[in-house]
Amino acid sequence: MEHNGFTLWFTGLSGAGKSTLSTRVADELRRRGVKVEILDGDEVRTNLSKGLGFSKEDRDTNIKRIGYVCKLLTRNGVVAISAAISPYREARDYNRAQIGRFIEIYVECSIEELTRRDVKGLYKKALAGELPNFTGVSDPYEPPLKPEIAVNSGTESVDQSFRRILDYLEQRGWIPKADVPSGAGCGCKH
């Protein structure tokens, strides 16, 4: 079965949950027979953007480069998932225009909550002024104005956010509905 490609574009601060959610969504889509590629921030920095820094210009180059690869995948029937921070609205909107079949998912989370988690200790450092170009603290983050989907990892569980993304994609026909599990019966009363 051949599916039509599209791009799922996650955006949000470091630690907000983009990678976790994108992996959950990718796994579920693959389970349903959909072709998926995740372009994660770190993998992309290695394979596409080595040498780029964190100035606005370099960040935009990085994001447009990911967008170019998403475009190639999308028009060949693959679901391309980007999970890079992508702080600037203009670069995201550029990709939207280039790709066409583009669904933006804003993974929101407050700085307070991110500082509380702070798995890598980066927020404390950034708030102490020790990290220049740290998105959301010492570098800008421009939230989407009209994302197709907005989730909040400070107020929802991963399961809830995941479910809302899946519902959106199913209800609008982007992905096939899950098959009824083979042991689940038909749901009627006999």
Q: Which residues are catalytic?
A: 86
Of the pair 52, 127, the CB lying nearest a copy of itself is at: 52
Min dist CB 77 to a copy of itself, Å, is: 7
Min dist CB 69 to a copy of itself, Å, is: 6
Establish if 158 lies at the interface with a copy of itself (CB under 8 A): no
Min dist CB 185 to a copy of itself, Å, is: 33
Min dist CB 23 to a copy of itself, Å, is: 17
Query: Torsions phi, psi of 15, nearest 5?
Result: 90, -5
Min dist CB 46 to a copy of itself, Å, is: 9
Distances (CA, A) of 180 to 27, 169, 184: 17, 17, 7
**H or E element that contains 108:** strand 102-108
State both tokens at 182.
């083979």
State both tokens at 86.
């992508």
Query: Torsions phi, psi of 167, nearest 5?
Result: -60, -45
Establish if 78 lies at the interface with a copy of itself (CB under 8 A): yes
Of the pair 64, 125, the CB lying nearest a copy of itself is at: 64
Exposed (0-12), middle (13-18) or buried (19+): which is 139, by Cβ within 10 Å?
middle
- Site residues for a copy of itself, window 57-76 (CB under 8 A)? 61, 64-65, 68-69, 72-73, 76
Determine the residue type at 38. Answer: I
Exposed (0-12), middle (13-18) or buried (19+): which is 63, by Cβ within 10 Å?
buried
Binding string, residues 20-39; x marks residues near a copy of itself by CB under 8 A: ---------------x-x--
Give the Cα separation of 70 and 98 in Å (integer): 10
Q: Which of 33, 77, 100, 140 binds a copy of itself (CB under 8 A)?
A: 77
Query: Torsions phi, psi of 52, nearest 5?
Result: -80, 145
Of the pair 65, 125, the CB lying nearest a copy of itself is at: 65
Binding stretches for a copy of itself (CB under 8 A): 2, 35, 37, 47-48, 50-51, 61, 64-65, 68-69, 72-73, 76-78
